[in-house]
Amino acid sequence: MRQKKEISREDVFQNRSVPSALRIMIVPAVTSQLIVLIYNMADTFYVGQTNNPYMVASTSLILPVFNITLCLAGLAGVGGGALISRLLGQGREDEARRAGTFSLYLGAAIAAVFSLGMAVGMDPILKLLGAGENTYQYARQYALCVIVTGGIPTVLSNVLANLIRSIGKSREAGFGIILGGVLNIALDPLFMFVLLPHGQEVLGAGVATCLSNCVACLFFLGVILRMGKGSIITFSPRVGLASKSSVIAVFAVGVPSAITTFLFDMDYVIIDKLMVSYGDLALAAIGIVLKVERFPLNVGIGICQGMMPLVAYSYAAGNEKRMEDTIRLSRRLGLVIAAISVILYELLAVQFTRLFIPDVQTVEMASQFLRIRVLATPLMFLSFFTVYLFQAFGKGQIALFLGVTRWLVFNIPMLFLLNRIFGMYGIVWSQATADVLTVLLSFFMYSRCRPRFQESGKLSG
C-alpha cells in the first residue's frame, strides 16, 4: 500500500517536493526519448548492413510519412494530456475522464483515416515521394508495414503515453515507449537476416517495427486495465461525451503541437536538399550531425514532457509558487544539460562523428559542422520549453504562433538567406542565428502572456 501511495497522482502533483516530483516525471520521459532516438536509427542502420543503396533509399523515402503519424499522435496526445492535467488541477475528474476518452478515440480515428488513405493512394504517394523503378517495391513493403498496418498502434501508443503521463504516471508512459524501442532494435536483425529470405530485408525491418509498436500499444492497454474502472484514462464510452469547451481545448493545443512537429521535420528535409548542391561529402557530413545533435535535443524534449503535466496541474489549481518552482528548476536543468553538451561536442566532435563513419574527410567536415550547430542547443531548448509552457497553460494560439514563427519566419528563411550569402557554412550557422531571434520573441511573449495570479491564488482575468 505504501508503494501505491508513493506513486499516486496526488502525491506527485501536490505532496512531493518539486525536485522529487520532477525526478519522477522527467527521468522516464528523458529515457524514453533517448530510446526512441536510437530505435529510429535502428532500421536505417540494419538496412545499411545490406550494402544495397536502393533498400536504404526506400526506408528514407517513407520517413516523412512516418513522421506525419507522430504529428497526428501529438494532436490527440499532447492536446488531450495538457487538458487532463489542467482539469485534474481544477478537481474536475469526471470531465478529465471524458476528455481522455475523446482524445483516445480521436487518435484512433485519425490514424485509421491516415492509414486507409495511404493504402488506397499508395502508388501516387510513393511516386510523389520519389520512389523509382529500383526503390518502389521496397518502399511499398515498408509503407504497408509501418503506415498501413502499423499506423493505428503507432499513433495509439504515443497518444496513450501522453495521456498516462498527464495523470502522473510517467514511469509507465516511459516504460511503454522504451519497450517498443528495445523490441524494435532486437527484432530488426531477427526478421531481416534470420527469419526472412535474402532480398526481403526491408520487409523484415517493417515487420519488426510494426510488431514492436503493437506490443507497446498492448502494454499501454494493459496499464489502463490495471488502473481499474475508476481510472481517468479509459476507453469506456459510458463516461459520456466531453464538453464542447474540452473538445475545443484539445484541438487548441493539439493542432499547434502537430504543426510545429511537422515544421521541425520539414526544416531537416530542407537542410538536406540545400546541402545536396555541395556534394555527397557535405550531405553525408550534415546527415551525421543532424543525428548526433538530436541526443541533447531529445533530452530537452523529455524534460519538457515531464514538466508539462506538473505545470498544467499547478496552474489550474492556482498554486503559483509550485508552478513557478517547477518552471524554474526544469529550465535550469535543461540549460545545464545543454551547456554540458556544448562543451562535450566542442571537445570531442571528431570522436562523436567517427562513430558513424570512418572516412577522414567526412569526419573532418562533420566535426566542423557539429561544433557550429551545437552552439544552438541552449537556444533550441529554450524555444521548445516556452512552447511547452504555453501548451500547459492551454494557450494553443500562442504556442502555434511561436512554433510557426520559429520555423516559417526565422529558421527556414534563414536557411535560404545564409546559404545564398555564405554558402555551405551559412546553412550550418542558420540554426543558431534563427534561434537567437526565436528566444528573444519567446521571452517577450512569455513576459506579456504568462499567467497572472491574484493574492487569493486564483487566476486573474
Distance of alpha carbon 389 from alpha carbon 410, whole angstroms: 21
Residue 48 in contact with residue 56, Cβ under 8 Å?
yes
Amino acid 442: pLDDT = 94
- 3-class DSSP state of 459: strand
194 contacts: CB under 8 Å, gap ≥ 6: none
Say which range, 127-136, 298-307, 339-348, has the weakest mean pLDDT. 127-136
Q: In the predicted model, what is the mean pLDDT of residues 200-217? A: 90
Q: Which of 21, 109, 70, 77 is nearest to 307 (CA)?
A: 21
Residue given cell 528535409 in the structure block: 269
The region of weakest confidence among 4-13, 75-84, 110-119 is: 4-13
pLDDT(83) > 60 = yes
Domain ranges across the chain: 15-241, 243-450
**pLDDT (tens digit per residue) in 314-338:** 999 888 999 999 999 999 999 999 9
Q: How would residue 220 be classed by pLDDT, with cut points 50, 70 and 90? A: very high
pLDDT in tens, 350-381: 988 887 667 788 888 889 999 999 999 999 99
* Three cell numbers written together for 277: 548542391
Q: What is the pLDDT of residues 270-304, one digit of tens each?
A: 887 888 788 777 877 887 788 788 889 889 999 99
Rounded to 5 degrees, what angle do the CA atoms 343, 349, 351 make?
120
Cβ partners under 8 Å of residue 22, min gap 6: 306, 307, 310, 326, 329, 330, 333
Residue with cell 531548448: 381
Q: Lowest-pLDDT range, 9-23, 93-107, 270-284, 401-415?
A: 270-284
Residue ranges with strand state E in 247-359: none
Specify the 3-state DSSP secondary structure of 140: helix
Contacts (Cβ under 8 Å, ≥6 apart) of 91: none
Please say whether the dihedral angle defined by the alpha carbons of residues 298, 300, 306 and 309, taken in this order, is positive or negative.
Answer: negative
- Supply the pLDDT for residue 456: 44
Tell which residue, 332, 440, 354, 449, has the closest CA to residue 392.
449
Q: What is the model's pLDDT at position 196?
A: 87
**pLDDT-above-90 percentage for the chain:** 37
Instruction: Determine the Cα–Cα distance for residues 374 and 192; give it in Å rounded to an integer.
Output: 35
**Rounded to whole angstroms, how far apart are CA atoms 452 and 85?**
19
- The arithmetic mean of pLDDT across residues 81-106, rounded, is 90
Phi and psi torsions of 302, nearest 5°: -60, -40
CA-based nearest residue to 457, from 310, 307, 306, 324: 324
Q: Is residue 255 within 8 Å of residue 76, measured between CB atoms?
A: no
Collapse the DSSP code of 247 into the 3-class scheme (helix H, G, I; strand E, B; otherwise coil) and give the result: helix
Among 127-141, 241-255, 295-309, 395-409, the least confident range: 127-141
